Amino acid sequence: MAAAGPADFDIGLEGEALKLTARGDWLARNLGRIDTRLRDFEDDSVGRDLIIDVSGIDKLDTAGAMVLQRLFHASEPRGGASAIVGASPGHEALLKQVEPHLAPVAVSPGRRNAFLMMLNRLGQGVVDAYFASLQILSFIGLTLVTAARVAALPKRFRLTSIFYHMEETGLNAVPIIGLMCFLIGAVIAFMGAKILKQFGAEIFVVEMVAIGVLRELGVLLAAILIAGRSGSAFTAQIGSMKLREEIDALKVLGLDPIEVLVLPRVFALVLMMPVLAFIGAMLGLIGGGLVAWRSLDISPALFLVRMQESIAMSNFWVGIIKAPFFAFAIGVVGCFQGMQVEGSAESLGQRTTLSVVQALFLVIVIDAFFAMFFLEIDY
């Protein structure tokens, strides 16, 4: 018998059969060094008769026996010349003992404390939100610096691109925003009519519609629809360019992607959002006025007179003032997420979804900030 030593083997032929001659100590601690060679041999031996000579093995444990049986059965032995030979009585008994256990055993997943998993997920979400906030703030700073540099050299403004995106994000969005605001104004008036009729105060539906639409809902609905329509489109467009390496091509040409791709979209959105908010507010008033006319017999003339008498112009300006801030947040987030796309269409889809979610979140946060601010200054 060969002297004890590290597990090793030789490969040869015996007739038409492959022959593997094992030697040394086939113990668990020695098998790692020859594992790659063993697996390569498994692939080569498939479909061929295999003879494994274990007479040179000095020490054998269950790990070594499992590996030998795995080698033997991996060749799909057809009988005949295939065999494990040269085993001592103890080794033969061990080889027979492990043979029924070659099939992999399903491992049950470890049980974890649900409360700790929830805390871990919550903590990871907070950490991710913190770093995402830093990245977005950094991108906002980069956008503002680039905008200042372009403003110092007006000839660098890409007017063609700005007008194109004004049409895409503004003009083409008028039908859907107008329809939604019209319907929301009608719904507010209808709900107000149902409730105020009980108190004989139907006339106050004018204040309900005018304040709600002019101050909040007109601009907020416009921002929500633009976040879902244009913000996601910005992410998809820039993300597709990122996947096709067009942004890298811009850098090679000496062009700044922020100046070429981001600023025209943000400028266009900032310019068009007040217009969309105005259109939405007007159509919301028309929708509310029509419902008041049909349900409460408040004529359009009475509706307008009552609105002029009781509604301050400040309610209109509150909505218009918020519009550019909403637009800036939506545009920056959409472009930022597009720049973060990497590697695959799956990443593009994830970033597009994240763009809409983050834009809507920022719109609501900004709206809440303005609500508290105007409340403090009594405006």
Query: How would you classify the pairing of strands 17-26 and 8-14?
Result: antiparallel
Which two tokens mark 54?
A: 């274990």
Q: What's the mean pLDDT in 230-248? A: 91
Phi, psi of 286 (to 5 degrees): -65, -45
Domains identified in the chain and CATH numbers: 8-101 (3.30.750.24), 140-376 (no CATH)
pLDDT tens digits, one per residue of 159-187: 899 999 999 988 899 999 999 999 999 99
Q: How many CB atoms lie within 10 A of CB 84?
A: 23
Query: Residue 74: pLDDT above 80?
Result: no
pLDDT-derived band at 1, boundaries 50, 70, 90: very low
Residue 328 structure tokens: 């800036």
State yes or no: pLDDT of 264 exceeds 90. Answer: yes
- Read off the pLDDT of each residue in 91-112 and give the average, rounded to a whole number: 76
> How high is the pLDDT of residue 106?
66
Which carries the bigger pLDDT value, residue 15 or residue 350?
350
**For the purposes of burial, counting CB atoms within 10 Å of the CB of 47, is it exposed (0-12), middle (13-18) or buried (19 or more)?**
exposed
Sole residue written with tokens 């990245």: 135
Report helix, strand or coil for 247. Answer: helix
Total residues belonging to the chain: 379
Per cent of the chain over pLDDT 90 is: 37
Instruction: Give the helix/strand (H/E) hosting 32.
Output: none
Q: Is the pLDDT of residue 340 over 70?
A: yes
> What's the pLDDT band for 28 if we cut at 50, 70, 90?
confident
CA 350 to chain centre: 3
Q: Give the residue-averaged pLDDT of 127-140.
A: 91
| 217 has a pLDDT exceeding 60 | yes
